[in-house]
Chains A and B, each alone.
Chain A
Amino acid sequence: MIDGITHWLIGLGASVRAGVTRLGFATRFMIAVFKASGPTFARPRLLIHELYHAGVLSLIIVLMSGLFIGMVLALQGYETLVRFGATEAMGVLVALSLVRELGPVVAGLLFASRAGSAITAEIGLMKTTEQLAAMEVMAVDPVARVVAPRFWAGVISLPLLAALFSTLGIYGGYLVAVKLIGIDNGAFWGQMQAAVDWRYDVGNGVIKSVVFACAVSLIAVFEGFDATPTAEGVSAATTRTVVTSALVILALDFILTVFMFRGSAVG
């Protein structure tokens, strides 16, 4: 009995200690990435290559999701708004929910599963096949050569992808609201323009997406770099990237929303 409890306590302590150590390593890793970022911008070729993989290849999924989410938003919004005879406020509903929340959050989630997991798997496999160790032997810093370009590619791509997501979503909402349901075109855009402030709503949405981009990219490169160098280790690291990114995005979104939009009224 006593033996069992001691055993359990030892296990608990070990796992807490491992978790805190990992957090410390992640912080140290983050500082190392920032320190090693100079060469990334001095050699834009690497960055452009990674931008292609992280950004361009995520375009299709982000654009299509944005379009469909905007269309669904308009359809469901109509159900509620029509009860109050306020269907002209559809533009406001679609634009505000996309620009403030859905654009950054859903684009971030999609980016984590599409590009973040790929980055983790790539770096993890490089570690498994000892490519990173080989670079160190050749006096090439793997953080500067492999990690930093991927990190910055993520930081640059996600805000752009989030903006595209919101734009396509608003267009999808416009298609359903104006073309399908028949809401007045001028009321749709006019009320939207009256209610959406470019600094307050659009600006804060962009800040959100930049924060998510840093978080997701950092998690992706860290999980890859920290992966156990086995096939199972890489697969576990990839899973962790997606799960942690999703949780971190949603938690950060809550915190940012509290700071940005607390007590705000649309009028």
Chain B
Amino acid sequence: MNKRTIDLWVGIFVAIGLSALFFLALKVGNLLNFKEERNGYELMARFENIGNLKPRAPVKSAGVVVGRIEKIRLDPKTYEAEVRIHLENQYQFSRDTIATIYTNGLLGEQFIGLEAGGDSEYLKDEESIKKTQSAIQIEKLISQFMFSQAQKSPDTPDAPTGNAAPAAGVKKK
């Protein structure tokens, strides 16, 4: 094989090797945010708590993916999470649409579900969804449950001690 062909192959090898490195850093490691082509519109939604919602998570309506989450930031004045949603042009939502954060399965990723209302006017680009419902946090649910159990317990205060007393008696024997 002559020298020029070897040069060519080595050049190709080094070029695709370096481009693989760039791919890993950029696309996989997300060094820069790649913007996809824009054809659609954007809406804002404010949530008290977004849980584990991540950028690029899907936005679904009736289970169908209609858009993606573009960006999430904290509003420094109201301390609410401000989520930018990118929706496809073919899907229009009425002004009284409700945005809720759902979890896919028990441990799955979170996404925003949109439930369209009955308003005849549609949300336009850069408008915000008024009605939102925050993510359900399992820790909060558990603590609420524990709290309500603790409040209930005065009704049957003797149940645990009643069980413990004979056990102690058995031990003494």
Number of A residues with CB within 8 Å of any CB on chain B: 43
Whether the pair A99, B28 counts as a contact (CB closer than 8 A) is yes
CA–CA, A189 to B55, complex, Å? Answer: 11
Report the minimal beta-carbon distance from A42 to chain B, rounded to whole angstroms. Answer: 17
A55 touches B13 (CB 8 A): yes
Q: Is B16 in the interface zone, CB < 8 Å from A?
A: yes
Verify B24–A99 contact, CB threshold 8 A: yes
CB <8 Å contact, A190 and B55: yes
Q: Is B62 an interface position by the 8 A CB rule?
A: no
Contact check, A193 vs B29: say whether CB atoms are below 8 A apart: yes
Q: A52-B6, A88-B108, A186-B68 are in contact. Are A193 and B13 (CB under 8 A)?
A: no
Q: In the docked arrangement, what's the CA distance between A184 and B3, Å?
A: 47
Q: Is the CB of A167 within 8 A of B20?
A: yes
Chain A 173-195 interface 0/1 with B at a Cβ cutoff of 8 Å (1 = within):
00000000000101101111110
Q: How large is the interface on B (under 10, 10 to 19, 20 to 34, 35 or more residues)?
A: 35 or more
Q: Is A105 an interface residue (CB 8 A)?
A: no
A252 within 8 A of B: no
CB neighbours (8 Å) of B10 from chain A are 48, 51-52, 55-56
Contact A190 B57 (CB under 8 A): yes
Complex contacts, B136 vs chain A, CB 8 Å:
none
Contacting chain B: which of A27-35, A69-77, A196-204, A229-237? A196-204
Which residues in chain B, 1-26, are within 8 Å of chain A measured between CB atoms? 3, 6-7, 9-10, 12-14, 16-18, 20-21, 23-26
Q: Is A170 an interface residue (CB 8 A)?
A: yes
- Which among A56, A86, A196 is the interface contact of B13 at CB below 8 angstroms? A56
> Shortest distance in angstroms between B66's beta carbon and chain A's nearest beta carbon?
12
Q: A45-B3, A99-B28, A187-B109 are in contact. Are A194 and B17 (CB under 8 A)?
A: no
Q: For residue A7, which residues in chain B have a CB less than 8 angstroms away from its CB?
A: none
**CA of A205 to CA of B104 in the docked complex: distance in angstroms?**
32
Give every chain B residue within 8 A of A259 (Cβ-Cβ): none
Binding site for A on B (CB under 8 A): 3, 6-7, 9-10, 12-14, 16-18, 20-21, 23-31, 54-58, 65, 68, 104-109
